[in-house]
């Protein structure tokens, strides 16, 4: 068994009691998110406190931790410095991000095992030493594996990946965090989160035809935008929820990350019971059924939601159209009926060059079976695939089951290449073969994210996200303007044919099957296991603690870069080829902010160097400032650090002596990551002050000697001509976080 059933028995024995206690003390009905959060308070004495949503920091005690290989390296390097002999809660490591997709699983997986052996050996030995479960390369993508094995209704977990909320499909509060947060939980310390606001999404009706669970979140992304869910939990309710499969719910929760939500969660229902039983977790299903009322919002909430949620949205599943979102941002939502006009109006390349299905977002049995039903129509209707197809199964279990049930053969029959059960093209690990890299081109994926360069590293690729069935239909047509609901295709006999709506089973009739799930259980006593890091390694490097604050104001810092427009964690610390350095802070810092656009010249990775007067790469300039003992500052626009949980995006600037990120606003995970690494994450009190920053400015941040929660700091800008301007800058640091800043990093406090 890959999970600890005793722990779960204990959990379900206590959970209803804790919820009941909180409800009594609060004296009111509770939402589902509140029930789970209150049942996981670190300090039970706080159970009846009415926390101010969006304001109060609260300490929690999550049940488990999951880490993917690209972020686990840094998380575990930090954990090793915490002086513990084992993880305080069950935790797992999943090898999914480092595998490059090229020729297909048969070739790519052995190649990845060889290329990454040093990192895999490191992760495996750390897992064995500290009692963590280890999922080998090829076992599957973290969120799919968690859903199949670890997620449980009413539970709370953190994961070092922004799509950790995927587990909300099984009624769990699952939150994406940086590695330092994971270390807090693994060391048994309190884990801090600002009490999230609640967005209630009422689902009515029932999906039919081409509409898929993915379309719920694609539509919602258009409503909320990439920032609309910041510091909020999206809680779904209403009779429409019960008609969605558990895996469909997981897809919706997964992509809550695209609107910046802290997490998303669905109420416990029969579909979750079916999924738990189908994945060999009968006892958990029964335990959850026994306290079902505590795993849903109270009736009073469902009947009068406006009194309980900070924002309410209603979506009618019966009238929901398939959506296709993009390019370059997942909130550019468009119903399929309007998409062709959008493509033409914006001059997007109409030819659909590659279709990609699968990933952590959309590789359930239901997803693959619905897409396979379309693949079968290629032959039955005399059609030819117009574009190549790539399939990324989410886990070995899904792959083996899909293979047994003929779906893998269906995809292969239309030329589909089956990649390793891993992230691959979803994280830039795609060795794409194209005739011309400089040509604007379009791809459609069933993934969750579509930032520039995300899939293939090519800024000319216009990536659109859709359901697997819609991605499949567009791949058959090879035409972005094809609407399978209304349009016909011409088959090899010259006849006009229409694709039938996709059909598929939610769960395999014959049950799931897997030969070897790829799990390596933790050993009971790993004390003697030695974890070695070669001093000359290019991929792994022991972490040195960051220096504490010297007690002085930060004065006359040169502006390293004024970023213009979107700056995601991909822009700050690119993935793709750089993934190989995720365990080596010094080496990966060479990619710092290389994707960010310099507001003064419109170029990427080209900034002015105060020491030489020339223009160089961002990291090169930062290194020279660091060598000269000069701290620097980065200025940015809205939602800085949007996207993933990778803390390298915070650690790299810290390592290269950038002390302050001054932005119009921050994405939640990234802001926390910056604080944890001892950086100053500040916002403009007046956003128009961004325009005052000039290329040759020196900037001071004053007021640090009286740094206190809620008290603004001041920025003094000295322009090239000697004139100065002063304005207020804000922060959200509480006492504990100010302590992290003063100590140099949160980890320095764990050790103190
Ligand atoms: Fe992997 Fe993409 Fe999901 S990178 S974890 S498949 S978002």
| Three-state DSSP string of 261-330 | ECEEECCCCHHHHHHHHHCCCHHHHHHHHHCHHHHCCCHHHHHCHHHCCCEEEEEEHHHCCCECECCCCC
What's the whole-number mean pLDDT along residues 176-192?
Answer: 93
Q: Ligand 1, residues 100, 137, 139, 161: which to mutate, most atoms within 8 A of Cβ?
A: 161
Q: How far is the CA of 315 from the centre of ligand 1 (A)?
A: 26
What is the number of the ligand 1 atom nearest to the C-alpha of 449? 7
What pLDDT shows up at residue 668? 86
CB 640 within 8 A of CB 653: no
93 three-class SS = strand
**Burial of 313 per CB tally in 10 Å (0-12, 13-18, 19+):** middle
Q: Which of 96, 298, 405, 697 is catalytic?
A: 96
How many residues are given for the chain?
752
Q: Ligand 1, residues 71, 92, 97, 147: which to mutate, most atoms within 8 A of Cβ?
A: 97
Backbone angles phi, psi at 316, to 5 degrees: -95, 110
Q: How far is the CA of 176 from the centre of ligand 1 (A)?
A: 12
For residue 643, pLDDT beyond 90:
no
The span from the CA of 5 to the CA of 19, in Å, is 21
What's the whole-number mean pLDDT along residues 659-681?
Answer: 96
Identify each DSSP E strand in 637-750 by its residue range. Answer: 658-663, 680-684, 698-702, 713-718, 724-730
Pocket lining: 75 vs ligand 1, CB cutoff 6 Å: no
List pLDDT tens digits, range 269-327. Answer: 999 999 999 999 999 999 999 999 999 999 999 999 999 999 999 999 999 999 999 99
Contact residues for 238 (Cβ-Cβ < 8 A; gap 6+)? 202, 203, 204, 302, 314
pLDDT band with cut points at 50, 70 and 90 for residue 752: low
The span from the CA of 536 to the CA of 717, in Å, is 42
List pLDDT tens digits, range 233-266. Answer: 999 999 999 999 999 999 999 999 999 999 999 9
Contact residues for 311 (Cβ-Cβ < 8 A; gap 6+)? 197, 198, 199, 200, 232
The span from the CA of 173 to the CA of 223, in Å, is 23
Q: Which of 644, 648, 654, 659 is catalytic?
A: 644
Per-residue tokens: 347: 């001059």
List pLDDT tens digits, range 503-517. Answer: 999 999 999 999 999
pLDDT band with cut points at 50, 70 and 90 for residue 751: low
List pLDDT tens digits, range 104-132. Answer: 999 999 999 999 999 999 999 999 999 99
Give the torsion sign (CA, 494, 495, 501, 505): negative
- 449: annotated active-site residue: yes
- 731: annotated active-site residue: no
Closest by Cα among 160, 79, 166, 175 to 127: 79
Backbone angles phi, psi at 94, to 5 degrees: -125, 125
List pLDDT tens digits, range 55-64. Answer: 999 999 999 9
For residue 444, pLDDT beyond 80:
yes
What pLDDT shows up at residue 476? 98
Q: How far is the CA of 344 from the centre of ligand 1 (A)?
A: 30
Pocket lining: 455 vs ligand 1, CB cutoff 6 Å: no
CB 501 within 8 A of CB 491: no
Contact residues for 411 (Cβ-Cβ < 8 A; gap 6+)? 371, 372, 375, 389, 391, 418
Pocket lining: 748 vs ligand 1, CB cutoff 6 Å: no
424-452: burial string, b at 16+ Cβ within 10 Å, e else: bbbbbbbebeeeeeeeebbbbbbbbbbbb
How many helices (H) and strands (E) the chain has is answered by 24, 28
What pLDDT shows up at residue 317? 98
Backbone angles phi, psi at 46, to 5 degrees: -85, 5
Give all domains of the chain, ordered by start, each with its CATH number: 5-319 (3.30.499.10), 345-427+441-497 (3.30.499.10), 554-751 (3.20.19.10)
Pocket lining: 101 vs ligand 1, CB cutoff 6 Å: no
CA 135, chain centre distance (Å)? 19
The span from the CA of 390 to the CA of 466, in Å, is 15
What pLDDT shows up at residue 645? 79
Residue with the nearest Cα to atom 1 of ligand 1? 423
- 644: annotated active-site residue: yes
Pocket lining: 219 vs ligand 1, CB cutoff 6 Å: no
DSSP characters for 696-709?
T-EEEEE-GGG--T
CB 246 within 8 A of CB 217: no
DSSP characters for 156-214?
EEEESSTTGGGGGGGT-EEEE--HHHHHHHHTT--EEEEPPEEEEEEEES---TT--HH
Angstrom distances, CA of residue 529 to CA of 2, 223, 523, 532, 659: 21, 51, 10, 10, 37
For residue 524, pLDDT beyond 90:
no
- 96: annotated active-site residue: yes
Residue with the nearest Cα to atom 5 of ligand 1? 360
Pocket lining: 743 vs ligand 1, CB cutoff 6 Å: no
Pocket lining: 284 vs ligand 1, CB cutoff 6 Å: no
Closest by Cα among 559, 548, 625, 562 to 589: 625
If you average pLDDT over every residue of the chain, what do you get?
Answer: 96
Pocket lining: 163 vs ligand 1, CB cutoff 6 Å: yes
Q: Which of 69, 161, 181, 269 is catalytic?
A: 161
Pocket lining: 401 vs ligand 1, CB cutoff 6 Å: no
Closest by Cα among 708, 569, 549 to 652: 569
- 296: annotated active-site residue: no
Q: How far is the CA of 361 from the centre of ligand 1 (A)?
A: 7
Contact residues for 116 (Cβ-Cβ < 8 A; gap 6+)? 69, 95, 98, 99, 137, 580
> Which of 23-27, 80-84, 245-249, 475-479 shows the lowest mean pLDDT across its residues?
80-84
Pocket lining: 258 vs ligand 1, CB cutoff 6 Å: no
Look at the block and give the residue holding tokens 């995300």.
454
């Amino acid at each position: 068994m890959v999970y600890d059933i005793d722990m779960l028995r204990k959990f379900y024995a206590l959970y209803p009691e804790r919820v009941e206690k909180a409800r009594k003390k609060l004296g009111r009905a509770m939402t589902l998110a509140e029930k789970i959060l209150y049942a996981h308070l670190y300090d039970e004495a706080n159970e009846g406190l009415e926390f101010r949503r969006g304001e109060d920091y609260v300490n929690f005690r999550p049940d488990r931790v999951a880490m993917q290989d690209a972020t686990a390296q840094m998380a575990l390097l930090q954990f090793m410095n915490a002086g513990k002999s084992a993880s305080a809660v069950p935790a797992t490591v999943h090898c999914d991000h480092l595998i490059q997709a090229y020729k297909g699983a048969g070739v790519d997986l052995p190649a990845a095992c060889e290329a990454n052996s040093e990192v895999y050996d490191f992760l495996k030995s750390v897992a064995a030493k500290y009692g963590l479960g280890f999922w080998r390369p090829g076992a599957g993508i973290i969120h799919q594996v968690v859903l199949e094995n670890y997620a449980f209704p009413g539970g709370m977990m953190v994961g070092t990946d922004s799509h950790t909320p995927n587990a909300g499909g099984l009624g769990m509060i699952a939150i994406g965090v940086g590695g330092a947060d994971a270390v807090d939980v693994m060391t048994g310390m309190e884990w801090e989160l600002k009490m999230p606001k609640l967005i209630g999404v009422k689902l009515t009706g029932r999906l039919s035809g081409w509409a898929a669970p993915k379309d719920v979140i694609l539509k919602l992304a258009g409503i909320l935008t990439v920032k609309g869910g910041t510091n909020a939990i999206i809680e779904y309710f209403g009779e429409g929820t019960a008609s969605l499969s558990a895996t469909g719910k997981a897809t919706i929760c997964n992509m809550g990350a695209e609107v910046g939500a802290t997490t998303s969660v669905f109420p416990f229902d029969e579909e979750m019971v079916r999924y738990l039983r189908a994945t060999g977790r009968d006892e958990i299903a029964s335990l959850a059924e026994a306290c079902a009322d505590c795993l849903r919002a109270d009736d009073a909430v469902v009947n009068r939601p406006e009194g309980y949620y900070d924002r309410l949205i209603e979506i009618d599943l019966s009238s929901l159209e398939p959506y296709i979102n993009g390019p370059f941002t997942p909130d550019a939502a468009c119903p399929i009926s309007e998409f062709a006009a959008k493509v033409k109006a914006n001059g997007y390349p109409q030819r659909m060059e590659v279709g990609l299905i699968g990933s952590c977002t959309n590789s359930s049995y239901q997803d693959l079976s619905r897409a396979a039903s379309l693949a079968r129509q290629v032959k039955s209707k005399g059609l030819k695939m117009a574009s190549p197809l790539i399939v990324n199964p989410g886990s070995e279990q899904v792959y083996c089951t899909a293979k047994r049930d003929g779906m893998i053969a269906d995809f292969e029959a239309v030329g589909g290449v089956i990649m390793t059960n891993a992230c691959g093209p979803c994280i830039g690990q795609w060795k794409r073969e194209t005739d011309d890299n400089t040509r604007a081109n379009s791809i459609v994926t069933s993934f969750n994210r579509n930032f520039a360069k995300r899939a293939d590293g090519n800024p000319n690729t216009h990536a659109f996200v859709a359901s697997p069935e819609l991605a499949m239909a567009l791949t058959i047509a090879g035409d972005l303007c094809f609407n399978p609901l209304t349009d016909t295709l011409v088959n090899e006999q010259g006849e006009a044919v229409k694709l039938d709506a996709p059909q598929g089973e939610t769960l395999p009739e014959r049950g799931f099957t897997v030969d070897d799930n790829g799990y390596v259980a933790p050993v009971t006593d790993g004390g003697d296991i030695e974890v070695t890091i070669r001093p000359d390694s290019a991929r792994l490097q022991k972490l040195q603690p960051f220096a504490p604050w010297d007690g002085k104001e930060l004065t006359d810092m040169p502006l390293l870069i004024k970023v213009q427009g979107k700056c995601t964690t991909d822009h700050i610390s690119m993935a793709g080829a750089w993934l190989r350095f995720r365990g080596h802070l010094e080496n990966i810092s060479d990619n710092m902010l290389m994707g960010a656009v310099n507001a003064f010249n419109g170029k990427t990775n080209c900034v002015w160097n105060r020491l030489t007067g020339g223009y160089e790469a961002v990291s090169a300039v930062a290194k020279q400032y660091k060598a000269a003992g000069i701290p620097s500052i980065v200025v940015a626009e809205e939602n800085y650090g949007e996207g993933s949980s990778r803390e390298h995006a915070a650690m790299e600037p810290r390592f290269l002596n950038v002390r302050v990120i001054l932005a119009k606003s921050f994405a939640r995970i990234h802001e926390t990551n910056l604080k944890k690494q001892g950086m100053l994450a500040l916002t403009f009190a007046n956003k128009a002050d961004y325009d005052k920053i000039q290329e040759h400015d020196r900037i001071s941040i004053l007021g640090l000697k009286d740094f206190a929660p809620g008290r603004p700091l001041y920025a003094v800008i000295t322009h090239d001509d000697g004139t100065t301007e002063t304005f207020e800058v804000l922060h959200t640091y509480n006492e504990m976080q100010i302590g992290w800043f003063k100590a140099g990093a949160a980890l320095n406090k764990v050790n103190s």
